[in-house]
Amino acid sequence: MLFLLIRMQTLSAQSFSAAVNYRFCTNTQFDQAIRVYNSSRPFLTNKQALFRNGFGATVGYSFATKKYPKSNYGIELAYAYFGSYAENDGFINDMQLHNLTPRFFTRLKITKHIFGQVNLGLPCYGMFRQINSETVTNDGTPIRAFGIGFSILPQLFYSFKLNEHITLCPTFGIDYCPFQYSPQGEALINQTKGLYTNNSNSFFGFDFGIKVNFLSKGN
Amino acid sequence: MVRRKFLKLSSLAAMGWIVSPNLISCAKNTLFDNPNYKGKVLIIGAGAAGLYAGYLLQSLGVDFQILEARNNHGGRLGKLEGFANFPIDLGAQWLHGNNNILADLVKKSKTKVTNDQSEMSYWFQNQIVQSLPKNVEIFDNEGLPDISFEAYALQQGLGEEYKYIIESLAGDQGADASEISAYWNHKEEENWVSGDDDFKFEESYFDFINKNIAQPILSKIQLNSPIDQINYTTDKIQLKLSSGTILEADKVIVTVPISILKLNEITFIPSLSQSKTQAFQKIGMGAGMKVFMKFSTKFFDQNITGGHICAAYADDSVGKAVDDNVLLAFVMGEQAEYLTSLGNDTAITTALLQELDTMYNGQATLNFLSGVVFDWTKEPFIKGAYSFSTVNMGDARLIAAQSVDNKLFFAGEAMNINGHHQTVQGAVESAYKAVNDLILNLK
């Protein structure tokens, strides 16, 4: 962090970015727990949806020594939300999965308009659940699931220059997390612990969205 | 060129290996929507586990039949009507926790339940007190040794005066304090995520299971059909009933109480492995009895813990829509064995009334109207209360619950490996696990 702060002082072309995106995701542990939840309760005719489709937003900051560099690097903070909801005769089971991923990225200019970017992230998640609008508890304490892992996200984006300071970029990326420590996922989703899954999750998905880059200064 | 092709193929294979578990998981949101299995499954036992296994198989369109040794279904769930102005739960009574399959079914079916928040009193040094001088909640601590509750309580300075308080804590676990392991009991309970509130059914637990799980599969239950022998030597498993009838099945789910397996009352051909039979022996199963006493007035507290004849009494009307003066004596372990040894129901009730007279200045005998004794240990196809964790138990439950040759599957509260053993929801979860193993291993 200190290195980045010092480095920022020496850079002459910084840019800020903000993006919104759609995310499609598959999770080994969460999917398994939801499938077990669904198949172990035949009385629930409306099945619990998997955490598949999510929406997110990203803010980032990139460092560069000139305005249109061939390569540069930066940091991003990405947030995504996934929901799973099912209602059965007034029995409402509502689960929310929040992902927050701080990332470091390096970006490479491939052609005049096309850029490639590789992000290395620490995906953190928080999962919450309510039954009939009441938070699920154990011994009076809300059951919440938190976890952390590491991920790699290669991205491609096409850059449209709107003016000297703003570019607009449609983006596409593939997100892979080989390991996420996830000790409470099964407990929250299926109300069992260590029966059908272990303490780890992995996920694979893709996202596409729109990113806006703001060039703050240049030489 | 060859090298480039090799690198390309290797990269694709690596990528495939990385993402395949995720992509496979894309397909569906239940584990087994339509197994399309044409074989026949026989389930032994129509207790909670057997009923739920049948209920699951029915939902999957699998052909099955449940063989029950007794003349009614429900296993260790039972109901008595007419004794009080509410139905009496002869067996399992409390839904433990709000987060489990059955709690979901309660909510979905809008079954009326009440959180049992009855107050605790103690019979301690010959008087009823509302609190104890020393903390007895010592079995939730970290780093417990693999010794009995009784031995650990003594180590912690809870002497002879706490003997029956400790017995009541062990009795909650279906055990005698000298037999249950402090370490293994705690280790298994670490996986408990069901919640700590206890819920009572306004009707009865039996009614709830009967209405929601048993009724849809009632035609598949064959009563009065005890099994003597299971021969799984060939592809078709042969089951020999006590009547001599032979039935055939492709898969068998055994859900009888662990006591029946411990006593080798079912012969397996070929014999089960030594590790499995040893695992059965390591799982504890104590004596258990419920005695219901009806009085003309309610002179007793909601819970009385620490009796020398019965370590746990409870007001049975708690959670019911109507309020009769019924006191439950929940007798476990050595205390149950002692009462059984008295020989008849009158002697058992008299012994309990004498103890209550001591606690409440003779009011018990004075107000006593009638009593019912239900001795689960004397039930020929049950023979006990529920399983508990013994000293040196290790992973006995895990071994006991493992399937054999992909033909025999085991379920029941004692086979629950996720901390919910001793409970009806634990039995139901084990049934799901057995059906899950059966279906997923078909190919």
Between CA B239 and CA B257 the distance in angstroms is: 18
Shortest CA gap A26–chain B (Å): 6
| Number of neighbouring beta carbons within 10 Å of residue B84 | 20
Share of residues in chain A with pLDDT > 70 (%): 91
* DSSP output for chain A: -HHHHHHHHH-S--EEEEEEEEEEEEEHHHHHHHHHHHHT-TT--SPPPPS-EEEEEEEEEEE-SSSS-SEEEEEEEEEEEEEEEEEETTEEEEEEEEEEEEEEEEEEE-SSSEEEEEEEE--EEEEEEEETTEE-EETTEEP-EEEEEEEEEEEEEE-EE-SSSEEEEEEEEEEEEEEEE-TTHHHHHHS-SSSS--SEEEEEEEEEEEEEEEE----
Look at residue B360 and tell me whether its pLDDT is greater than 90: yes
Question: Nearest Cα to B100, choosing from B385, B428, B388?
Answer: B428
Residues making up chain B, counted from first to last? 443
In this prediction the pTM is 0.91
* A88-147 confidence digits (pLDDT tens): 999 999 999 999 999 999 999 999 899 999 999 999 999 999 999 999 887 778 889 999
Kindly report which listed range (A67-76, B71-80, B188-197) carries the lowest average pLDDT score: A67-76
Residues of A in contact with B429 (CB under 8 A): 40, 192, 195
Between CA B111 and CA B46 the distance in angstroms is: 22
Written as one letter, the residue type at B178 is S
Complex confidence, ipTM: 0.89
User: Under CATH, which number does the domain A13-154+171-215 receive?
Assistant: 2.40.160
What SS3 state is found at B236?
coil
Q: Considering only residues B333 and A217, tell me which one the structure prediction assigns the higher pLDDT.
A: B333
- Give the E-state strand segments of B192-307 in sequence order: 198-201, 221-222, 227-231, 237-241, 246-249, 251-254, 267-269, 283-285, 288-295, 303-305
Kindly report which listed range (A194-208, B344-358, B366-380) carries the lowest average pLDDT score: A194-208
Please tell me which of the candidates A34, A39, A136 has its beta carbon nearest to residue B32.
Answer: A39
* Residue A103 dihedral angles phi and psi, to the nearest 5°: -130, 150
B316 half-sphere exposure, CB direction, 13 A CA radius: 29
Between CA B269 and CA B240 the distance in angstroms is: 11
Question: Nearest Cα to B421, choosing from B49, B26, B24, B157?
Answer: B49
Q: What is the mean pLDDT of chain A?
A: 89
pLDDT band at A5 (very low <50, low <70, confident <90, very high): very low
Between CA A149 and CA A103 the distance in angstroms is: 12
Residues of A in contact with B101 (CB under 8 A): 40-41, 191
Does B117-196+287-385 carry CATH code 3.90.660.10? Answer: yes
Contact criterion met (CB < 8 Å) for B21 and A202: yes
Between CA A135 and CA A142 the distance in angstroms is: 6
Question: Is some CB atom of chain A closer than 8 A to the CB atom of B417?
Answer: yes
User: Looking at chain B, which residues constitute the CATH 3.50.50.60 domain(s)?
Assistant: 40-74+205-284+394-440
Do residues B389 and B188 lie in contact, with contact meaning Cβ atoms separated by under 8 Å? yes
Residues in chain A whose Cβ is within 8 Å of chain B? 26-28, 31-32, 34-36, 38-44, 47-50, 88-91, 93, 131-132, 136-140, 143, 176, 178, 187, 191-196, 202-205
Please tell me which of the candidates A27, A50, A140 has its beta carbon nearest to residue B29.
Answer: A50
Question: Is some CB atom of chain A closer than 8 A to the CB atom of B194?
Answer: yes
pLDDT band at B11 (very low <50, low <70, confident <90, very high): low
Question: Is some CB atom of chain A closer than 8 A to the CB atom of B429?
Answer: yes
Between CA B45 and CA B409 the distance in angstroms is: 13
* DSSP output for B58-118: HHTT-EEEEE-SSSSS-TT--EE-SSSSS-EESS--EEE-SSSHHHHHHHHHT--EEE--P
pLDDT at B32: 76
pLDDT band at B259 (very low <50, low <70, confident <90, very high): very high
Record: fold of B40-74+205-284+394-440: FAD/NAD(P)-binding domain (3.50.50)
Please tell me which of the candidates A35, A48, A195 has its beta carbon nearest to residue B418.
Answer: A195
Between CA B415 and CA B188 the distance in angstroms is: 12
Look at residue B43 and tell me whether its pLDDT is greater than 60: yes
The full set of domain ranges for chain A reads 13-154+171-215
Residues of B in contact with A204 (CB under 8 A): 18-19, 22-23
pLDDT at B89: 96
